[in-house]
């Protein structure tokens, strides 16, 4: 039988990138090869994100584009999968432009849905599961350089932060069998990979229980770090309420666990944190930062910040600016609050900060972070780092680029090393985004 061609666009977080790798694997077993050329595709999928309204609007734009492709060629199926599929369900079929809708726990069923879908007969599966972790599926790696890979260790989220749509789109939290995780990491190492990033919505609540005992996230991190001292380990995302002393001490005890923690703060105001249902205070958060700094003075701390959440005052906003200053974040992802239908916040609190105020506050946050990021980079000038080489730098073919353990991008003139090698560099100067280095 002729093999068919599958084209997938991926939106949203790293978790979605990892899910796309799972989808390619499932579809490959069922007669589909990957294509990067949409005009060659028999099936077009968009693996979507619902986190903010603008993410969804962008995808609606793409659906219109796919509809034009379909009209021209007739014989192509269009599917929406992932978070937006789960959130909007049948409403996506009502657009008349979509043949397949599959939620994040329905990917094993995709070949059946694709087989059954015909123009005018769309197929939908948005069942969420309490068990599905795709543990037995070997993802088809999409990265081109074969150096760094994502490994999903859990799915779903039980936190119910009041602004967040994820518990509704990805369902209840469940952890993946650690044996399958370690096996996947061993396979990656054997295939030449040098870095794995363990992914979960809230990695600190990873937990596995079997006859052999229990494994928490710190234990899992040790197991993965033990695969090889040459293999770097990263992880994302930590929750400030759950990040434990044991985890921080485990990181500190291993050189190959990278010195970078993504610890989303969201707001510096206790009143906002309470309303966001984050279940920590500013003081608790700063205590966690102090513990990280005590154990690993060289550890980068990065964050997510939301500007203009419901009823946020100037005072609350100033608290956000001051906690950012106090922590001195190395990097931050910064957003305006976007009300998501069905969330606790949408049901209980008016989205009452005017758009122009949200924008102004976000700009102040971005401006501050630009300064903090530059200051952080300046502190690294003169230091020596072990860099994992990714490939040529964007600027010049005579330069390589790669990340230090603290996740900062380093560029340096180099004709010796190849992607996947480690190189020792000294930082000579910096921009707000890059450390300019030389080999040592
Ligand atoms: N509006 C704006 N930002 C949001 N995030 C999550 N939900 C929303 C929302 N409704 C941000 C948070 C989270 C990151 C992944 O996206 O900062 O940590
Ligand atoms: Fe990822 Fe959240 Fe977007 Fe879903 S909604 S793709 S979990 S960022």
Q: Which tokens belong to 232? A: 């770097």
DSSP characters for 384-404?
EEEEEEEEE-SS-TTEEEEE-
The residue to mutate among 16, 163, 173, having the most atoms of ligand 2 within 8 angstroms of its beta carbon, is 16
Q: Which tokens belong to 175? A: 């952890």
Task: Tell me whether the omega of the peptide bond preceding residue 423 falls within 30 degrees of 0, making it cis.
Answer: no
Predicted confidence (pLDDT) at residue 119 exceeds the cutoff of 90 = no
> Using CA atoms, how far apart are residues 420 and 402, in angstroms rounded to an integer?
9
Q: What is the mean pLDDT of residues 101-121?
A: 96
Whether residue 51 has its Cβ less than 6 Å from ligand 1: yes
Whether residue 266 has its Cβ less than 6 Å from ligand 1: yes
CA of 265 to the centre of ligand 1 (A): 11
All domains in the chain, ordered by first residue: 4-125 (3.40.50.12160), 384-439 (2.40.50.140)
Q: What is the mean pLDDT of residues 223-246?
A: 98
Enumerate residues 6+ apart whose C-beta is below 8 A from 179: none
Q: What is the mean pLDDT of residues 357-374?
A: 98
pLDDT of residue 179: 97
* DSSP code of residue 107: G
Sorting pLDDT into bands at 50, 70 and 90, what band is 359?
very high
Whether residue 14 has its Cβ less than 6 Å from ligand 1: no
Task: Write the residue with the smallest CA distance to atom 2 of ligand 1.
Answer: 337
Instruction: Name all contacts of 55-61 with Cβ < 8 Å and 24+ positions apart.
Output: 55/11, 55/12, 56/84, 58/11, 59/11, 59/84
> Using CA atoms, how far apart are residues 346 and 163, in angstroms rounded to an integer?
7
Q: What is the pLDDT of residues 295-332, one digit of tens each?
A: 999 999 999 999 999 999 999 999 999 999 999 999 99
Across the chain, mean pLDDT equals 97
Local structure of 33: helix, strand or coil: strand
> Using CA atoms, how far apart are residues 264 and 273, in angstroms rounded to an integer?
12
pLDDT of residue 338: 98
What's the pTM?
Answer: 0.96
pLDDT of residue 404: 98
Predicted confidence (pLDDT) at residue 216 exceeds the cutoff of 80 = yes
Q: What is the mean pLDDT of residues 183-202?
A: 97
Whether residue 346 has its Cβ less than 6 Å from ligand 2: no
Q: Which tokens belong to 8? A: 């997938």
pLDDT of residue 316: 98
Q: What is the mean pLDDT of residues 272-293?
A: 98
CA angle (163 as vertex; 359, 340 as ends), nearest 5: 80
Q: What is the pLDDT of residues 47-76, one digit of tens each?
A: 999 999 999 999 999 999 999 999 998 889
* C-alpha torsion 246→249→255→256, nearest 10: 20
Enumerate residues 6+ apart whose C-beta is below 8 A from 57: none
Local structure of 435: helix, strand or coil: strand
Predicted confidence (pLDDT) at residue 1 exceeds the cutoff of 90 = no
> Using CA atoms, how far apart are residues 438 and 440, in angstroms rounded to an integer?
6
Give the residue carrying structure tokens 């003139």.
413
């Amino acid at each position: 039988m002729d093999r068919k061609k599958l084209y997938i666009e991926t939106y949203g977080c790293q978790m979605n990138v990892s899910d796309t790798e799972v989808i390619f694997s499932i579809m490959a077993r069922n007669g589909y090869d990957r294509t990067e050329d949409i005009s060659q595709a028999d099936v077009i999928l968009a693996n979507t994100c619902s986190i903010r309204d603008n993410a969804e609007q962008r995808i609606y734009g793409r659906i219109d584009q796919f509809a034009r492709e379909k009209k021209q060629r007739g014989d192509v199926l269009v599917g929406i999968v992932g978070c937006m599929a789960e959130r909007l369900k049948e409403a996506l079929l009502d657009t008349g432009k979509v043949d397949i809708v599959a939620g994040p726990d329905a990917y094993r069923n995709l070949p059946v849905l694709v087989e059954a879908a015909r123009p005018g007969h769309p197929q939908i599966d948005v069942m969420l599961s309490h068990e599905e972790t795709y543990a037995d599926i070997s993802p088809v790696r999409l990265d081109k350089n074969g150096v760094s890979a994502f490994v999903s260790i859990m799915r779903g989220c039980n936190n119910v932060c009041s602004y967040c749509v994820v518990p509704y789109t990805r369902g209840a939290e469940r952890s993946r069998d650690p044996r399958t995780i370690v096996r996947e990491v061993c396979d990656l190492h054997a295939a030449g990979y040098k870095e794995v990033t363990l992914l979960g919505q809230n990695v600190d609540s990873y937990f596995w229980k079997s006859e052999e005992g229990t494994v928490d996230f710190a234990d899992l991190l040790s197991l993965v770090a033990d695969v090889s001292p040459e293999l770097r380990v990263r992880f994302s995302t930590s929750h400030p309420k759950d990040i434990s002393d044991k985890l921080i001490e485990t990181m500190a005890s291993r050189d190959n666990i990278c010195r970078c923690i993504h610890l989303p703060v969201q707001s510096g105001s206790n009143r906002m944190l309470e309303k966001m249902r984050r279940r920590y205070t500013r003081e608790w958060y700063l205590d966690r930062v102090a513990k990280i700094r005590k154990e690993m003075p060289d550890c980068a701390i990065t964050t997510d910040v939301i500007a203009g959440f419901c009823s946020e005052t100037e005072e609350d906003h100033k608290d956000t600016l001051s906690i950012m200053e106090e922590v001195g974040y190395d990097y931050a992802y910064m957003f305006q609050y976007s009300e998501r239908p069905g969330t606790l916040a949408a049901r209980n609190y008016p989205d009452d900060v005017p758009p122009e105020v949200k924008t102004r506050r976000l700009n102040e946050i971005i401006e501050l972070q630009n300064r903090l990021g530059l200051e952080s980079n300046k502190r690294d000038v003169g230091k020596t780092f072990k860099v994992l080489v990714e490939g040529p730098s964007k600027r010049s073919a005579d330069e390589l680029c790669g990340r230090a353990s603290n996740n900062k991008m380093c560029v340096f003139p180099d004709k010796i090393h190849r992607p996947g090698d480690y190189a020792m560099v000294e930082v000579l100067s910096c921009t707000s985004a890059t450390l300019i280095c030389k080999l040592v």
